[in-house]
Structure 1
Amino acid sequence: MINNKLLLIKPNPYHGESLTSFIQRVSELNGLNPHFLWRTYLNGSHYPQSQVSSIINTVPETIFNILAFQETVGINQDRLENLTFLPALRKIYGHDKSALDLSSQRIMSSILASNLRYCPKCIEENCYYRLIWQVKELDICLHHKLKLVENCPYCQKQIPFLAPDSIVGICPHCQCNLICQSSTPIYSEATYFRASEDWSFLLTSDIKSIVHGDHIDPKQYLALKLLFIISGKANTFNKQHIVNLHLPCSLSVLLQSARGTCSIKRFTHLGIILSILRCQNVSLEEFSSIKLPESFLNSLLTHTPLLKDQYSCIAPWCTSFRKPGSLKRTATSTKQLEDGTKLNYYLYCHSCGTEYAIDTQTNELVERGYFIKLAWNKVRHLILEGKGKRDIAFQLGISLDQSLRCLVYLISNNLIPRHYFNFLIPNIPQPQIVDRFLLAIKNSDRIKDLKKILNLPYTEFLYYWYLPNVQVAWLSTPGKAKKKQLTKQWIKEFPEAIKQLINKEEPITIDKVSKILGVNHETLRSHGLLPQIAAAKKHQSDLQKVKRGEMLINKVEEFIRECKQNGTAITSDMLYKNLKVRRTVLVRTHPEITKYIHTILKSQQI
């Protein structure tokens, strides 16, 4: 540690100066090497590295001990932190967040430049580097109306923020004066006005925080405020009003952040915040003063039960009758009936195996068969009155087959005594036949196939088919395309869609497959096609790996032929430079090629 008495000259930082610029000036005035000063106040075990020096201006505490440095230069910590982007980050993300928290979240990634940019005129007038120059979107000097320069005018190299021989205004590579560099004038600064206004607010305003939600985590409250802005400052949140907006991030991710349901709690990226506010024409100052209405918070934070939990089984004989949470989803999403009725969100009861759907017009739960409204409510009463199946069919105006199915269903579910039915069906279910049904369901897609596999008399087949556990097994088996669904054209076109992407050498993704087939992601998932897409993606990756390996081998052999013709000795560096790939990368992806190269180099040495 440097004794603060040995620092003979202790300058004051300029307004708007960057911390790396101040470190360079302190070093130069006291005849010290900037990296020596950095190493003296180093946080962590690594030696100073010029390529990461930009971090000193962002979250210095991760690699520079600003607390110890303040004692040496006699300037308080708050004033030194004002030479970095820490005040801007804390305005948005809270003063209780540590530098390690802020840096690990990468909330400013791609926003700041990693090398110095400067205005020669500004340096000539006042010899220090401005912090604002590091912001990528502000690539101009608004004072002189000039484009910022990004490299040395003589050696054309980019300049790190803190190099071993850094001196403000001098290139650390060739020691030439940066003031001599000419810059390109700009003709309009209007496009930079909003960005300049935002960054001026973040870096210089006295407002300590723009997030101040009572009893709500700052990560959540920030996302809630953004959703409030997107919703047009409505009193309640309505997703349907904003689904068509072009947002700089996924709406679902923003909703998860607002509700605190993300598996990994993350801050919202600064670029997303600025982009949303600018699109909605809301200033940071206005954003900081917004207090969310209680009604808006309730509309987002009040737990809304899943649609399936808002309904319950309506079969009167079922043990789960009217019990919320008794229904589960099937593999079917939407169907349109012949009469034009549209049903969606197909469900089944896990106790009795009754299948349901929701009528899109009335939002009512409707049975996907006729066993409640027909078998239970009508046929059962006629049977108990002594009517036969023909009389029942005639009286109710239904077919004989419907009458038979109702009778078998009622007996199979123990809803009427067995003696009311004089056809050949078992007195009790035979376990071995039930097991055959369950196995056949696991391996078959269609009821028609089940009948062929089991080879049972019609009434006996119906008896076992209507058993609650068999119905539940059929409806709950994932990825089964029930009844007529397999006749859909898009399912037949699925293999062709995969081939199409492979032939065009386009990456196989769920999104691309769904667009080719004209179905949504949920339909692919419910039909069990996601594992097939994953397998196809791996197959495509393997093909690309083999193809790239062949290309690399050809390049190696061609390079060796050229070297032999020219009489040039082959070195490892030459080979990998020609391949344009590092050895550490190649040894992971194509170890056989690195072994081949090693063999060639070894034979050359012999």
Structure 2
Amino acid sequence: MEQPVAHRPQILPGESLTSLIFRVVQYNRFELLDFLNYIRRDGRKTLQRSDMALMNVTPRSTLNMLRLSQMLEIEVATLLKASFDPILRLFAQGSDATQQSRFLAGMFTNKHRYCPRCLKEATYHRLFWVDKSFTTCPKHEIYLVERCPRCHGSIDLNAVAIGQCSKCGHTLTMIEGTTDSNETATMRWIEQSWSTLLEVAPSKFLNDEEVAQRLLYLASGKSEYFERRTVDSSVPKSSITPTLLQHARNSLAEKRALHLGLLMSLLHDLHISMSEFLVTEVPRPFVDSLTQSTDPLVQRLACVAPWCSSFERPGSLMKTGTTYKEYSDGTSSKYFMACTDCGCEYALVNDGEIQERTSFIAGYHQIMPLIHLGMSIKKVSAHLSQPVDQIQRVGAYFSTRLDIAGQVVLNAKLLRRFVTAVADGETLRSIQQWPQWDSYQAYLRYRYHSDVMRALHMYKRTRESKRQDLAARRRQVRQVLDSLVREDVNITIRTVCKMLKVCPETIRNWNCNELIFEAKRNQAAERSAHKLAKVVPKAEELFTIHQKEEVLSAQLYEFIGVGRTVLWRQAPEITAHLSLMLREHNKQVRGSDNTSP
């Protein structure tokens, strides 16, 4: 049981844990590093000033919170709410340290910023000031300041705690601040979101699957079933929906955390509060629709061909093998479908509108009335400025469907042979060479018969799901990965998809997620080795300069030109190696001091 310290300040509204620790040190006249290392977690390496930023995010990984609680007579849970630790327990409970770090990676700044007017009201550091997206004070509607108004030097925690620049002694509150009311609503939303999360946690626990399901449900407008088109139109980037689906379906090849920044930015874009998100319950039918094989969207779409027996009947379309196509003009199509009755093919275009791909509906309105009047194919072609082949195909299609100048009667035996050949995988080019055709037009009449078109769609659907030459696909992906490595471009699934013009689901169907992950890991290892080859000589140079002097961690990272936290996120093994070098150097210096006369 630790004895309480003489002066035990209470946590002030919105105060950060590091600010509280600094005030404890000030009031009790402790040495900062001595106090930090007294309350550090058992087995943790010696703490430096540079470690204080980590205490606002994951204090339990750095500090012995029970010891600090006993010394200040403040509950551990209350202390933790002066950091972002409760939020980690809300969303990343049970995750390892790596996953937890990724959950919040890149969201916080190591710079000490402040609002001059807040500081004038009460001199202490606020927790939310470390959020990079928190650029203006929602209360005073002015930009946060990160440099001294007089000497323009960077601000440290000591400066914020006493309200004076550590370098020139200038009073930090002697500045009006630059007003910006445009971002006030956003800043208030961010502040309220953080407050809500800190208040709710750790009474709840949400895993990635639940978070993604709630986001998809809210993005779909709380629809009873998942509709990809609705979600795509609601989210700001096309890559967000596949990411959420992978988490919602728990189909990731490698477990990784859903980033908190994605959650907050998406809720803000959807104009949904964090409170609403936390109380949202996703209906079971919606969850089931995320993984069911039959797409609810397709089930609600209908054929729009006026002559079709399934005209405007929901559920009359079936998905074909193609999922997504991107064209050279920047447009794209998705959800490729076909009507099983009339054979018309459809897709959803950029704006989500259903569009026919086979041109028969246009032909019905433009070409067939002219043929009905007795115009020849060549005259129709000249009149409409359309290719003769296009007129022939439309005429052949309708020759077995509409009673125009006598409906054509086909040979039932030859028609069955055509259908069987398609089902057996024979190509249309091969079938066209059969000697039974009197003319090209005769072939087209059979080719566009409803039975043949249905067989083609069914064969295509089966073939698309089974025909993939995975070895060839993997070779394609490897070629892309090799080019990314050569050009030193970051390897991500999104980058690979963009180069191959496919969607992430296709990559997953090709069983290439693991291939991409391995290449990404190898790229990181190579970059790490390259960085190590640069960083280590710089560190050795510093140790040579200070052969008889101990070197601080801050000195080392300033000399090599990279922040410790940044390097730890990018290459933790290099950070560990530098820490070992630093300890060995200082140990040798202390040893030589003890043996000197």
- Normalised to the residue count of structure 1, the TM-score between the two structures is 0.50
Q: Distance in 2 between matches of 1:149 and 1:511?
A: 36
Post-superposition offset of 1:202: 2.8
Q: Aligned pair in 2 of structure 1 residues 31, 579: CA closer, same or farther (>3 Å)?
A: closer
Where in structure 1 are there 5+ consecutive unaligned residues? 306-328, 335-343, 346-358, 364-369, 379-392, 400-474, 482-490, 553-570, 589-606
What is the match of residue 135 of structure 1? 131
Matches within 5 A, 1:40-439: 40-43=38-41, 44-90=43-89, 92-93=90-91, 97=93, 101=97, 104-153=100-149, 156-161=152-157, 168-169=161-162, 173-174=166-167, 176-177=168-169, 179-183=171-175, 185-203=177-195, 208=200, 218-247=207-236, 249-302=239-292, 361=345, 373-374=416-417
| 1:333-374 CA-partner distances (Å, limit 9, x unpaired) | 99xxxxxxxxx99xxxxxxxxxxxxx77499xxxxxx99943
Q: Distance in 2 between matches of 1:98 and 1:523?
A: 28
1:179 aligned partner, one-letter code: T
Equivalent pair of 2:137/2:144 in contact (CA under 8 Å): yes
Q: Distance in 2 between matches of 1:98 and 1:513?
A: 31
Post-superposition offset of 1:62: 0.9
2:268 aligned partner, one-letter code: R
Q: Distance in 1 between matches of 2:419 and 2:7?
A: 97
Q: Aligned pair in 2 of structure 1 residues 178, 237: CA closer, same or farther (>3 Å)?
A: farther
Post-superposition offset of 1:138: 2.1
Q: Distance in 2 between matches of 1:182 and 1:230?
A: 45
Post-superposition offset of 1:515: 7.3
Q: Aligned pair in 2 of structure 1 residues 118, 524: CA closer, same or farther (>3 Å)?
A: closer
Q: Aligned pair in 2 of structure 1 residues 2, 36: CA closer, same or farther (>3 Å)?
A: farther
CA RMSD of aligned residues (A): 5.7
Equivalent pair of 1:114/1:160 in contact (CA under 8 Å): no
Equivalent pair of 1:120/1:180 in contact (CA under 8 Å): yes
Q: Distance in 2 between matches of 1:49 and 1:272?
A: 32
Post-superposition offset of 1:209: 5.4
2:228 aligned partner, one-letter code: K
Equivalent pair of 1:108/1:269 in contact (CA under 8 Å): yes
Post-superposition offset of 1:25: 0.8
Q: Distance in 1 between matches of 2:66 and 2:560?
A: 47
Post-superposition offset of 1:241: 2.9
2:30 alignment partner, one of 19, 23, 32: 32
- Normalised to the residue count of structure 2, the TM-score between the two structures is 0.51
Post-superposition offset of 1:71: 0.6
Equivalent pair of 2:220/2:227 in contact (CA under 8 Å): yes
Task: Classify the secondary structure of the residue corresponding to 1:226.
Answer: helix
Q: Distance in 1 between matches of 2:129 and 2:496?
A: 44
Equivalent pair of 2:143/2:179 in contact (CA under 8 Å): no
Post-superposition offset of 1:520: 4.5
| 1:470-504 CA-partner distances (Å, limit 9, x unpaired) | xxxxx7766779xxxxxxxxx9xxx9x99x99999
Q: Aligned pair in 2 of structure 1 residues 55, 302: CA closer, same or farther (>3 Å)?
A: same
Equivalent pair of 1:259/1:301 in contact (CA under 8 Å): yes
1:236 aligned partner, one-letter code: Y
Equivalent pair of 1:111/1:271 in contact (CA under 8 Å): yes
Task: Classify the secondary structure of the residue corresponding to 1:64.
Answer: coil
Task: Classify the secondary structure of the residue corresponding to 2:102.
Answer: coil
Percent of residue pairs identical = 22
Equivalent pair of 1:20/1:57 in contact (CA under 8 Å): yes
What is the match of residue 10 of structure 2? 12
2:417 aligned partner, one-letter code: L
Q: Distance in 2 between matches of 1:155 and 1:107?
A: 36
| 1:381-436 CA-partner distances (Å, limit 9, x unpaired) | xxxxxxxxxxxx99x6699xxxxxxxxxxxxxxxxxxxxxxxxxxxxxxxxxxxxx
Q: Distance in 2 between matches of 1:149 and 1:476?
A: 57
Q: Aligned pair in 2 of structure 1 residues 509, 287: CA closer, same or farther (>3 Å)?
A: closer
| 1:34-66 CA-partner distances (Å, limit 9, x unpaired) | 221111111243221222311111121011111
Q: Distance in 2 between matches of 1:502 and 1:85?
A: 36
Post-superposition offset of 1:139: 2.2
Q: Aligned pair in 2 of structure 1 residues 252, 157: CA closer, same or farther (>3 Å)?
A: same
Q: Distance in 1 between matches of 2:67 and 2:229?
A: 53
Task: Classify the secondary structure of the residue corresponding to 1:141.
Answer: coil
Comparing 139-148 and 53-62, the one that deviates more: 139-148
Equivalent pair of 2:18/2:56 in contact (CA under 8 Å): yes
Post-superposition offset of 1:291: 1.4
Post-superposition offset of 1:28: 0.9
Q: Aligned pair in 2 of structure 1 residues 154, 581: CA closer, same or farther (>3 Å)?
A: closer
Q: Distance in 1 between matches of 2:20 and 2:498?
A: 55
Q: Aligned pair in 2 of structure 1 residues 169, 255: CA closer, same or farther (>3 Å)?
A: same
Q: Distance in 2 between matches of 1:70 and 1:511?
A: 46
Q: Distance in 2 between matches of 1:521 and 1:28?
A: 57
Equivalent pair of 1:2/1:40 in contact (CA under 8 Å): no
Task: Classify the secondary structure of the residue corresponding to 2:21.
Answer: helix
Equivalent pair of 1:139/1:147 in contact (CA under 8 Å): yes
| 1:275-329 CA-partner distances (Å, limit 9, x unpaired) | 1111111111222222112221121144669xxxxxxxxxxxxxxxxxxxxxxx9
1:131 aligned partner, one-letter code: L
1:77 aligned partner, one-letter code: V
User: How many residues are matched?
Assistant: 387
| 1:491-542 CA-partner distances (Å, limit 9, x unpaired) | 9xxx9x99x999999999998899799x65799999x9x9xxx9xx99xx9x
